Structure 1
């Protein structure tokens, strides 16, 4: 069932956009001369919850859709960095929150048909402010503390459109409801 790669050509190798064109042969012998794959590093996101039950979210402009979005803390795992370490680092850098008890809730793919990376989704309970934000010069992020009801409402009304964030949040609330 696995395809055989006959040839690979890189069309772009930039820090945030690496694209290759593969020529592949399917198991039935059909050759597909132009199959495009976008290569990304591993990604993380964090459902961060304070001891008071507030969800630590971030608000930032998203140029692709041209909107200001409220989202989970998320980011890129650095080369040779463990995803959990990357998640802890991103939460601290973007929000100033840290500590707490951490667990991996799911590992998902944005699009396994054309992207080669995975997103590691963590839940961090009992996080507290430990530092100030340490943003990159390309980041303009506002921290928001939202109630469980506010986050649920954002999911129901499609105010959280980033699928890699909506999926772990839906799972989180489903598991809470079922007591898992």
Structure 2
């Protein structure tokens, strides 16, 4: 069977159809893809989930402490620790969003910024892209004023204790754990 030439995803995969099945503007979109595979199979219902891209920041203050937020996260279903971050607004560059989110959520800013890799949340359905940043030597500039749904309290942990916090399950969000590992790798190279 010859696949009709549509959108070539790779040398072997072709996107034959892309149908939107659900959308809430600027929040979530679900598309049904019909794809042609290298072995000539056609998958009629390969779903692609699209949430807005976001930033996650591993911020370290002058005392060598990581800034964390203690807050209820509905996806986790409990109060937990998180790294600062949030959604990238339409037309906003990821680093600008990261600096804005850090200031809004913690009141901290300045310092030296490093950009880490962008991470895709799910290898098959995509879901979202997380942009990772490390901010070193951040200082208190303002009071936190995020306007988020969650009420958050700023908590700090020495960098040396963060892995215990992760292993104890207190920082349960996968991307935040990945960002912590990326950040420590970047900081080791300085």
TM over 0.5: yes
Instruction: State yes or no: 1:23 paired with 2:17.
Output: no
57-66 vs 129-138, which deviates more? 129-138
Instruction: State yes or no: 1:9 paired with 2:19.
Output: yes
1:106·1:168 contact (CA, 8 Å) conserved in 2?
Answer: no
Aligned length: 179
Q: CA deviation at 1:139?
A: 2.7
Distance 2:62 2:145 in 1: 23
List runs of 5+ in structure 2 lacking aligned partners. 1-10
RMSD of aligned C-alpha atoms? 1.8
What do the CA deviations read for 1:17-72 (whole angstroms, capped 9, x no partner)? 21111111112221101011111222110010111111111111111231111011
Name the residue aligned to 1:138: 149
TM-score of the pair, normalised by structure 1? 0.90
SS of residue in 2 equivalent to 1:118: strand
SS of residue in 2 equivalent to 1:46: strand
Name the residue aligned to 1:156: 167
- Displacement over 4 Å in runs of 4+: none
Distance 1:53 1:172 in 2: 13
Name the residue aligned to 1:108: 119
TM-score of the pair, normalised by structure 2? 0.86
13-22 vs 149-158, which deviates more? 149-158
What do the CA deviations read for 1:99-156 (whole angstroms, capped 9, x no partner)? 1110112221111310253211111011111112222252311111221233121123
Name the residue aligned to 1:36: 47
SS of residue in 2 equivalent to 1:13: strand
Distance 2:12 2:123 in 1: 13
Distance 1:101 1:57 in 2: 18
2:133·2:183 contact (CA, 8 Å) conserved in 1?
Answer: no
Q: Going by fraction, where is strand more abundant, 1 or 2? A: 2
Larger Rg: 2
